[in-house]
Amino acid sequence: MLRVEDLHKSFDDFKAVNGAHLTVESGQLVAVIGPNGAGKTTLFNLITGQLQPGRGRILLNDEDISKLPPHVICRKGIARSFQIANVFPRLSVFRNVQVSVLSQQKLSNKLFRPASQIAVEETGRILESVGLVDKKMDLAGSLSHGDKRILEIAIALGNEPELLILDEPTAGMSPDETATTMALIQRLAADQGLTILFCEHDMEVVFGTAQSIMVMQQGGTIVQGDPQTVRHNTEVQEAYLGDE
């Protein structure tokens, strides 16, 4: 479904992404791992159009999307969350999710119908599936860090994506919250047949959940494969597992 080929991105002289390769098959749960600064966030920003690559191709269902702006890429079926909680702080939790549902249903430009009567069911269903129904009246800015991260995922679900990209969905969470969030992600993948690509710097979190793992270091891909293959790859052991 998604194929990233030899991707490069430099900030001034610094090569943040330097030869990244990635394949995501439909229905898979794929993880990108690598230490902080490996270029995971930059890779995701390239895929979803926040950044433009210097070189390389990003193919979504065989179409090159590497030059498209974020909103077009989203409409092609990729939704995402951000590493730093990125919600609409002055809007209610409900409206946060509704905004993306409205966008998905191409209703964002409706002028004279009250939004409170549109897409209510769909929005409610999403809030229920992530467990935020009780807080739907709260202002998003007033949520706890963990809830903001969950809300992020809910906003992305509003787009009914083919591919859901999550940038360190458990960053800054307590061990409990981390477990809940990983369970949620696995449930979304299983129940809704979502294809999910996420990244993590914590190995533990990844090996239990992902079907395919891509290991990044200094902007480049070391290897991608199933957890067994990755665990036994000597290069990975030297470069990554070795320092633990």
Among 18, 28, 42, 178, binds ligand ADP (CB under 6 A): 42
Report how far residue 150's alpha carbon sits from residue 97's, in angstroms, rounded to the nearest whole number.
11
- The edge-to-edge listing of strands for the beta sheet with 195-200 is 78-81, 163-167, 195-200, 29-33, 212-217, 220-225
Helices (H), 76-142: 93-104, 120-130
Report how far residue 143's alpha carbon sits from residue 135's, in angstroms, rounded to the nearest whole number.
9
**98 is a site residue for ligand ADP (CB under 6 A):** no
Give whichever of 43 and 239 is closer to another protein, judged by the CB atom.
43
**91 is a site residue for another protein (CB under 8 A):** yes
Cα of 204 vs its chain's centroid, Å: 18
Closest separation between CB of residue 41 and ligand ADP, Å?
Answer: 3
Among 1, 33, 43, 79, binds another protein (CB under 8 A): 79
What radius of gyration, in Å, describes the C-alpha atoms of the chain?
18
Q: Which stretch binds ligand ADP (CB under 6 A): 32-40, 148-156, 224-232, 233-241?
A: 32-40
Closest separation between CB of residue 205 and another protein, Å?
Answer: 24
Among 9, 95, 135, 148, binds another protein (CB under 8 A): 95
**Residue 42 class from Cβ within 10 Å (0-12 exposed, 13-18 middle, 19+ buried)?**
buried
**Residue 107 class from Cβ within 10 Å (0-12 exposed, 13-18 middle, 19+ buried)?**
middle
- Contact code string over 187-216 relative to another protein, x by CB under 8 A: ------------------------------
Give whichever of 140 and 203 is closer to ligand ADP, judged by the CB atom.
203
**16 is a site residue for ligand ADP (CB under 6 A):** yes
Q: Which does 148 bind (CB under 5 to 8 A by kind): Mg ion, another protein, ligand ADP, none?
A: none
**Residue 156 class from Cβ within 10 Å (0-12 exposed, 13-18 middle, 19+ buried)?**
buried
Measured from each CB, the residue nearest to Mg ion is 41
Q: Which does 104 bind (CB under 5 to 8 A by kind): ligand ADP, Mg ion, another protein, none?
A: another protein
143 close to 92: Cβ distance less than 8 angstroms = no
Strand partners, 81: 166
Give whichever of 136 and 201 is closer to ligand ADP, judged by the CB atom.
201
Task: Tokens 């209510």: give the residue.
Answer: 120
Structure tokens at 157: 């679900």
Residues that bind Mg ion (CB under 5 A): 40-41, 83
Give the interface with ligand ADP as residue ranges (CB under 6 A).
11, 14, 16, 34, 36-42
Q: Which residues here bind another protein, judged by CB under 8 A?
A: 48, 50, 69-71, 74-75, 79-80, 82, 86-92, 94-96, 98-100, 102-104, 107-118, 137, 155-156, 158-159
